[in-house]
């Protein structure tokens, strides 16, 4: 596409003085799984005519980099179900390590297609991926995802690791569903030379269960793990909200992402671009600006102006609450905004 050039304006600072250095991009709202805490069983996805083209995603991403973003994460839905996503990865990967470019390009995936795509990701400059995996038990994994095959995902994880990608497992801690597997997951990650991040379930979008029944505070989880594993505090920062520990004697890091029990909004450095071009300043708020309309109607100058509007509206913190019968914090599902 032909885009009118515009000089890069100022770097990205929100109304609370936080520098925005991290852009998460949902390349599709579609997914080949239907995880119970993320989606309803019957989902209505965006028509293809409403989503950004891969070229438009690249142009917007490059504009953010020109304004100081140094880390991009591709997500979904499931990013690897989008046809030709490898072309986008290669274009964004060309900015990694370049002066004024990206420090890192990463991806969050469910792993079902990772074995096929791992060589493309590593060749494009990606060095790390996150894989969502909430159970190692085949029957339980199928129940959580509604139809997934855990062996296929584990095969993808090992293929990615063997190709040279550092793999971090993302596990949503779910009371009464997988809490008895968390210790085993950490042991497996240590054996497989993988990292593990535990995540509290978040009230995003209507699902078929009451999230209060599944909410498991990570404070309680960590107390249990610290009696079973030699955990030492690690100063590692990935650019996201996780706090890290290392399993002593291994290369495995344990990260905790606790949006409800340990609010991390004061250090928020990220914004999210949806597959239909909406820029959300916060996962837990509905405030957004339409970068697709700005790009198509006014080019890069209009994109810059819309980003500036969004930054002024970025809230100080999210309003997540887990209460019996309470409506979700926002109506949109996580797959719309991107993980």
309 annotated as a binding-site residue? no
35 annotated as a binding-site residue? yes
Alpha-carbon dihedral 56, 27, 274, 71, rounded to 10 degrees: -90
Helix (H) or strand (E) holding 156: helix 150-163
| Cis upstream peptide for 77 (omega within 30°) | yes
265 annotated as a binding-site residue? yes
317 annotated as a binding-site residue? no
90 annotated as a binding-site residue? no
275 annotated as a binding-site residue? no
CA distance linking residue 300 with residue 295, whole number of Å = 6
189 annotated as a binding-site residue? no
158 annotated as a binding-site residue? no
337 annotated as a binding-site residue? no
22 annotated as a binding-site residue? no
Token readout for 70 is 């140094």
Bridge partners of 25, per DSSP, are 74, 273
Instruction: Find out whether 286 and 330 touch, Cβ atoms under 8 Å.
Output: yes
211 annotated as a binding-site residue? no
Q: How many CB atoms lie within 10 A of CB 21?
A: 17
Q: What 8-state DSSP symbol labels residue 98?
A: S
244 annotated as a binding-site residue? no
Only one residue has tokens 């344990």, namely 254
CA distance linking residue 4 with residue 145, whole number of Å = 44
Annotated binding site for [4Fe-4S] cluster: 31, 35, 38, 265, 268, 282
Annotated binding site for S-adenosyl-L-methionine: 37, 77, 132, 202
Annotated binding site for GTP: 24, 73, 108, 168, 270-272
Annotated binding site: 24, 31, 35, 37-38, 73, 77, 108, 132, 168, 202, 265, 268, 270-272, 282
């Amino acid at each position: 596409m032909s885009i009118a050039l515009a000089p890069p304006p100022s770097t990205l600072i929100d109304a609370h003085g936080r520098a925005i250095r991290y852009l998460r991009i949902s390349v599709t709202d579609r997914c080949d799984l239907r995880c119970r805490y993320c989606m309803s069983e019957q989902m209505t996805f965006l028509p293809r005519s409403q989503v950004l083209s891969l070229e438009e995603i690249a142009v917007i991403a490059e504009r953010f980099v020109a304004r100081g973003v140094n880390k991009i994460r591709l997500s979904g839905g499931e990013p690897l179900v989008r046809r030709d996503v490898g072309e986008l990865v290669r274009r964004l990967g060309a900015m990694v390590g370049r002066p004024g470019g990206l420090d890192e390009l990463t991806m969050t995936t469910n792993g079902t297609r990772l074995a096929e795509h791992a060589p493309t990701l590593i060749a494009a400059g990606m060095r790390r991926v996150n894989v969502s995996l909430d159970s190692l038990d085949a029957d339980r994994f199928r129940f959580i995802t509604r139809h997934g095959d855990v062996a296929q995902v584990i095969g993808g994880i090992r293929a990615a690791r063997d190709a040279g990608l550092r793999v971090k497992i993302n596990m949503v801690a779910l009371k009464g569903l997988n809490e008895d597997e968390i210790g085993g997951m950490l042991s497996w990650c240590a054996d497989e030379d993988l990292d593990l991040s535990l995540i509290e379930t978040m009230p995003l979008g209507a699902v078929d269960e009451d999230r209060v029944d599944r909410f498991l505070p990570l404070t309680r989880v960590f107390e249990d793990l610290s009696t079973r594993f030699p955990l030492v505090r690690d100063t590692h920062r990935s650019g996201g909200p996780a706090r890290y520990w290392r399993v002593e004697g291994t290369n495995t890091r344990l990260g905790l992402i606790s949006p409800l029990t340990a609010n991390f909004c004061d250090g928020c450095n990220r914004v999210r671009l949806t597959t239909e071009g909406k820029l959300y300043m916060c996962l837990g708020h509905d405030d957004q600006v339409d970068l697709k309309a700005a790009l198509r109607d006014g080019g890069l100058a209009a994109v810059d102006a819309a980003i500036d509007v969004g930054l002024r509206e970025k809230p100080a913190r999210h309003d997540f609450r887990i209460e019996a019968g309470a409506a979700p914090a926002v109506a949109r599902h996580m797959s719309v905004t991107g993980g």
